[in-house]
Chains A and B, each alone.
Chain A
Amino acid sequence: MGRFAHIADVHLGSNREKAMRDLEIKAFSDAMDRCISEKVDFIIFSGDLFHTGIPDLSVVNEALRKISEVKDTGIPVYVIYGSHDYTPAGTSVIDLLTTARMLQKVVKPRMEGGKLCLDSTRDPATGARLWGISARSNGLERKYYEILDRESLEAEDGFKIFVFHSGITEFKPPELVQMETIPISYFPRNFDYYAGGHIHSSGIYRQPGYDNIVFPGPLFTGYGKDLENSARGEKRGFYIVDFDSKVRKIQFIDTTACSWAFLEFDATGKSSSEFSAEVSRGAEDADIRGRVVVLKLRGTIESGRTSDVDIGRIRERLISNGALHVYVNRHSLFSREYSAVNYVETDLRVLEKKLILENIGNYRGSIAALGGNKGAERAEELLASMKQESKLNESKADYASRKREEAIALLGINNLLGADER
């Protein structure tokens, strides 16, 4: 019985914050340790082992430390490029590690008769054969699949593993509707195991002719949406697969490296100050010690700005209360005041005129000079006058008095206020 570990989307180097980087490394180390302890015959990294083509060297150093440990136990590590750790022109870290024989690329393409033919990599310990297609950014690898010589691959025998780093159209998660995916029919049939990557949620899928299409998801977080999913309790890890002539067992190994706390607050119907206070209270009361916190703020604030919510202070508070790290998602937090505007007009004069004319109708008083077009004109004149700043060396009192006189003259209410009384 053979055994291999299927890992994908490690995204080493995606976290720059020390705490998260440490957890990221820890998750990877734990996964490697687990592979050793489980005595896997080989490890497959189906893309995005690193977050970038040229990551921070300290990250590479840590990764190399663990990979070499694995290598020292005689476990080969097979790899393909992912959409991130791939450099279209130039040398990526994968290339370096492959050259250093830490990793072994299983993508061996050749063109033949206009078709893309793939050569296999045979695992010496188990005899399992691996074929792989690397990913490109924005799903550009699709064109490889379009010219792939599937028949040849399907005709191959033995325990066959297809390693890829793409979304499959038929299994595309609804939230990734924008993602470029490959239809399953583009894949060669009848492989024993399809070692996928790129989809950051674990799952095993089957289709007629396609058994064991597996996505392990990231070991730790990766970035972005992964954080929220992890915080909501999604397990992270990899798969250990037992096989002989067929896959016998696929076991998910949880490598969740830390505890999470997901704090979600809805601002709908609240003022910015109310919401800010609610979030502060919630953050204060939450059990976040030793956890990575994902703070999600959403909804539409009735009054005030989204920037009125002092994220920095809340973040500091959470950290001081023991949170390992705090991520804030306020992408879906809006302000009604700042969205409920009728005019997108940057010429201020035009805007003033429009809004004054629009709102003068709200005046329902009895003074004719204040309503309608007359009132609007008066408002414009008054606004123009009142916008002027104080003159050089003009005292506050003088300025205030001057403005008062101007306003009273503009409004024509000298007599009303009593000239001798002012």
Chain B
Amino acid sequence: MKFNRIRLSNVRSYVRQEIEFPEGCTLFAGDIGSGKSTILMAMEFALFGLGADDGQALLGVNRQKGFVELEFEAFGNTYAIHRGLARKGNSVVQEACTLTTGGVMTHFTPRELKAKVLEILRFNEPPTNSESKIFRYSIFTPQEEMKIILSINQDARLQILRKAFGIEDYKIAASNIADISRYMRQKSSEILSQAFDLEEKTAKLEDGRKKLELLDQDIGNLSRHVDAIQKRLSAAREEHDGYRRSLESMEAKREQHAKIMRELAGKQNNLKRLDERKRMQESSIGKKTAFIKQQSESIIPSVDPESLKAKITVLQGEFSSMTSRKGEVLERIKNLTSSRQRTQKDLETNRNDLASLVKRKEAEEERIREKRAFIEERSAAERPDGDPEAIGSEIAALQKSLFLKATESGTILAKVSDYSEILSNGTCPTCERPVEDPATFGSRLTSREKAYEVIEGEMGELSARLETLQKARERAIVYRGSREETKRAAIELKQISKSLESTLESIEKQNQRILEKLQEIEAMDRAITEANLSVQSQETELRKLNNQIRSVEKEKETAITMAMTSGEIRRAMEDLDRMNSDLSEIGREMESITEEMEDLSREATKLSADLQSMDSLRSRADSAKQQVDREEALLGQERRKLGEAEGSRNQLREVMASLREEVDLKSKMRQRSAEILEYVSWLDQFLLPTIDLVEKNAMVSLNNEFNENIQTIFGMLVDDPGKNIRVDEAFTPIVEQDGIAQEISYLSGGERTSVALAYRLTLNRMVKRHLMYSDRNPLILDEPTDGFSRDQLLKIREILEMMEASQVIIVSHEKDMESFADQIYRVNKLNGNSTVAVA
């Protein structure tokens, strides 16, 4: 930013004044009250308006209207501001303002223009403040406010600085982010609350799953149970059907038996009737015969038909009785046959037993043979000469003798060796001294050699004897062992023999039994044979009787025929023939019926035999039926259970499907809630602390830089090595003397001004450097050296050079300041009117 010029009209003591602002240092010099500071006030008014100030303080006394026009450059553009003041009654108000740039004039309200100027200058502060803090702190501070910066409320100062350096933005960002975090947390909570019962639902689902599992199991078990029951039922039914069929068959048989019996009864009745008829027929025949006789009495038959007839009857009687007897014999044959079969079975059993016994006998005999052979072998073993102990003693003695002999032999042999040595060397082998007369040792040697031979011979004999005794002892030991074995074998032999006896006894008994059975069978066979023969003879007899009867009947017929000559006799004879024929027919029919009855009887008997097992069969069939009923009942019961279980399962499946859907939805809600919380966590745990860190780092950096600058400037102004200045974290200036903080109020005037100036200049430098879009801002100093010593005044130039301000505007009454101004304006006041002229 650079001020170009200002035009004042009716502003305080200025009626009309135009002032150019060159680059470099411009000094407005003049006496106190000449109007120097008014120029600066007017500059601030032009930029930012009245703020909290009263327009009365600016508009010239007794003037109705006034204005300030300020031309300045910022960021490469030139701007011209026009702000007007007008008296309205007792107050002075701002009129509409204009801003001209690039040839375009725009009208603004005073407040709008302020906002626009802040925007142009890129000062980061709201237009709502009554004044521009950044401007006041960094560019221009009115004289009376120079030192206020030192005593301003710490928080207020910090706030302004934070705004000036853009640090406050972090507070705003943090506040916004915290608000968003709260919002998101609330949202998360709301979403989560919709899933408050997720655990409950999940537990229910799990419960359901378990129940379903159990149900599946139950259903499985039930199904298997039902299958098993069905199988059992099928089996039971099959069994029952079998029994039923058997029963039916039995029933059929029973019916048949009953039928047969009925038939038999019927036949019996028929037979009875036939017999009745027969008797009647016989009676009729008798009557006819009698008639015929009577009629025939006149005829003399050659033969008496009646007698023939009686003979036939007798023969028939005999035939029946023979038949009856034959039946009895047949029955007897049957019984005998059955008995024979049973006896045959017994016989076979006995034979099997016998075979086993025989095998046992043979085994036992074989074992007996073995044992005997063993015993014989052992017994045939050569008896030893003595018992092992005795032989052992002898052996010990012999060994001792042998040892003594060996010792003696050794001694002799040593001597032989010595004597040989002496004889050959002539020296004693022991002491190695020459022997006096070695030759005398020759005989000794010979004697010794002989004795050695003798002993060797004895030793040989003893060794041979020893060997013999050792062998004998071995044999004795073996023999002893054999004796023991033989004893055991004898005992076993005895046992086996006893067993064999018993076996033989059993064999004998068995043979006896077999024999008896054979005899029985034989007897039965003979009886059967006899019976068969009897049957044969009876059959022969029956055939004979049958032939006789036929023959007699022929004879009778012949006789009757011979006797019949008359028509009545002939008719009667014909009737008689007919009757006889009927009778024969009846007879035959009766025979036939009898035969049939016999057959039926046999069948009935057979059926009876079969029917005997019907009760037990029925009982079994009843049991089977009961079993079927039980299985059916059980099956029904189990099927109902199964049905109920399946129904429950289906119901449960439906419930679970619904629960699953609900759980999925609530889980998703939880996830959403958790995801939102993750964003919240990112904001709270990462971003907010990071912003705080940025803020702190920035503040510390700024603080450090501030301290560096203020210490440099203060050090230039206050030449006391023990005195230093620093700012704390709140940018509160602290002057210390050897570490002890000095209250600002107790500093000298010059020291206070030094602190204020150092602070302001530091602010100016830092605002210039750090405002992102800051231009090279001018520096306006209003009476900056109040209380300064001359030395300090002289240092101002140095400091201003250090500030590198493109434009410095100073208002001062100090003459010394003129020495370093590039441009000096003299401000004079005459008759209440101020004028500015180049010095």
Contacts and interface: CB of A to CB of B under 8 A. Distances in A.
Contact of B729 (A335, A345, A360, A363): A335
A355 B694 contact: yes
A400 B179 contact: yes
Interface in B169-187: 169-170, 172-173, 176-177, 179-180, 183-184, 187
Contact of A338 (B675, B700, B739): B700
Given A224-B740, A386-B173, 9 more contacts: A223-B740, A307-B729, A348-B166, A348-B770, A351-B701, A356-B690, A379-B690, A386-B176, A417-B676
Given A379-B686, A383-B687, A403-B180, A352 B694 contact: yes
The 3 closest A-B pairs by CB, nearest first: A224-B738, A331-B739, A305-B729
Contacts of B784: none
A261 B700 CA distance: 34
Contacts of B423: none
Given A359-B686, A383-B687, A403-B176, A341 B700 contact: yes
A389 B721 CA distance: 45
B173 A387 contact: yes
Contacts of B698: 345-346, 348, 351
Contacts of B167: 348
Given A307-B729, A344-B700, A404-B183, A359 B737 contact: no
B250 interface: no
B736 interface: yes
A146 interface: no
A400 B176 CA distance: 7
Interface stretch (B11-19, B317-325, B702-710): B702-710
B806 interface: no
Nearest to B732: A307
Nearest to B675: A416
Interface stretch (B77-85, B277-285, B677-685): B677-685
Contacts of B678: 365-367, 370
A343 B701 contact: yes
A204 interface: no
Nearest to A309: B728
Given A363-B682, A367-B675, A338 B696 contact: yes
B694 A348 contact: yes
A380 to B, nearest CB: 10
Contacts of A389: 126, 169, 172
Contacts of B739: 224-225, 228, 329, 331-332
A367 B679 contact: yes
B280 to A, nearest CB: 123
Contacts of A348: 166-167, 694, 698, 770, 772
A416 B669 CA distance: 10
Interface string A326-337: 011111100101
A415 to B, nearest CB: 9
B126 to A, nearest CB: 7
A400 B184 CA distance: 13
Given A365-B682, A417-B187, A343 B697 contact: yes
A382 B729 contact: no
B524 to A, nearest CB: 106
Given A224-B737, A379-B690, A389-B172, A345 B697 contact: yes
B682 A375 contact: yes
Interface string B736-748: 1111110100111
Interface in A361-414: 362-363, 365-367, 370, 375, 379, 382-383, 386-389, 392, 400, 403-404, 407-408, 411, 413
Given A392-B127, A413-B679, A360 B686 contact: yes
A16 interface: yes
A382 B173 CA distance: 9
A306 interface: yes
A152 interface: no
Nearest to A367: B678
Interface in B767-814: 769-770, 772
A413 B702 contact: no
Contacts of A420: none
A58 interface: no
Max chain B CB contacts within 10 Å: which of A16, A17, A346, A418? A346
B693 interface: yes
A363 B187 contact: no
B115 interface: yes
A307 B153 CA distance: 12
Interface of A: 16-17, 138, 223-225, 227-228, 294, 305-307, 311, 327-332, 335, 337-339, 341-346, 348-349, 351-352, 355-356, 359-360, 362-363, 365-367, 370, 375, 379, 382-383, 386-389, 392, 400, 403-404, 407-408, 411, 413, 416-418, 421
A403 B176 CA distance: 7
A351 B167 CA distance: 12
19 contacts: A307-B728, A307-B730, A328-B740, A329-B741, A330-B741, A331-B740, A332-B739, A341-B701, A343-B701, A344-B704, A346-B702, A346-B769, A348-B698, A349-B772, A351-B698, A386-B176, A386-B177, A407-B176, A411-B679
B688 to A, nearest CB: 10
A383 to B, nearest CB: 6
Chain B interface size band reads 35 or more
A351 B699 CA distance: 11
A84 to B, nearest CB: 9
A360 B702 CA distance: 24
B180 A344 contact: no
B567 interface: no
Contacts of B736: 331
A224 B679 CA distance: 54
B722 interface: yes
Contacts of B676: 413, 416-417
Max chain B CB contacts within 10 Å: which of A138, A330, A337, A417? A417
A403 B683 CA distance: 14
B728 A306 contact: yes
B479 to A, nearest CB: 102
Given A332-B739, A386-B176, A355 B697 contact: yes
Max chain B CB contacts within 10 Å: which of A352, A387, A389, A418? A387
B405 interface: no
A411 B187 CA distance: 15
Contacts of A327: 740-741
B571 to A, nearest CB: 135
B735 to A, nearest CB: 12
Nearest to B167: A348
A229 to B, nearest CB: 11
B144 to A, nearest CB: 23
B702 A355 contact: no
Contacts of A328: 740-741
Max chain A CB contacts within 10 Å: which of B179, B180, B187, B747? B180
B783 to A, nearest CB: 23
B457 interface: no
Max chain A CB contacts within 10 Å: which of B154, B191, B736, B741? B741
A362 B687 CA distance: 10
Nearest to B158: A307
Contacts of A349: 772
Contacts of B184: 417
Max chain B CB contacts within 10 Å: which of A331, A349, A418? A331
Contact of A404 (B179, B728, B730): B179
A346 B167 CA distance: 11
Interface in B750-777: 769-770, 772
Nearest to A417: B187
Contact of A383 (B115, B685, B691): B691
Contacts of B442: none
A413 B166 CA distance: 29
Contacts of B691: 383
Contacts of B702: 346
A377 B611 CA distance: 107
Contacts of A416: 672, 675-676, 679
Max chain B CB contacts within 10 Å: which of A16, A328, A348, A411? A348
